[in-house]
Amino acid sequence: MPTINVQMFEGRTTEQKRAFVKAVTEATCQSLGCKPEAVDIIIQDVKKEDWATGGKLWSDQ
């Protein structure tokens, strides 16, 4: 069973997350040939002050 871990900035609505996991599940099933029941998706909301790119916190940009 595929388990997909997604980290993204906090602030998305439940509806946005619902649409996202539906689309990712469909793409996973299509590309891997598995059933939707086999796909687990874990979403981790991350604060911008806890994420950095290029040596800079996203909260500072």
pLDDT at 53: 97
Catalytic residue among 1, 2, 25, 28: 2
Parallel/antiparallel/unpaired status of strands 52-53 and 56-57: antiparallel
Domains of the chain, residue spans: 3-60
pTM for the model? 0.89
Instruction: Give catalytic status of residue 36 as yes or no.
Output: no
- At 24-59, the pLDDT tens digits run 999 999 999 999 999 999 999 999 999 999 999 999
pLDDT at 12: 98
Cβ pair 26, 20 in contact under 8 A = no
pLDDT at 1: 87
Q: Please tell me the CATH code under which domain 3-60 is placed.
A: 3.30.429.10
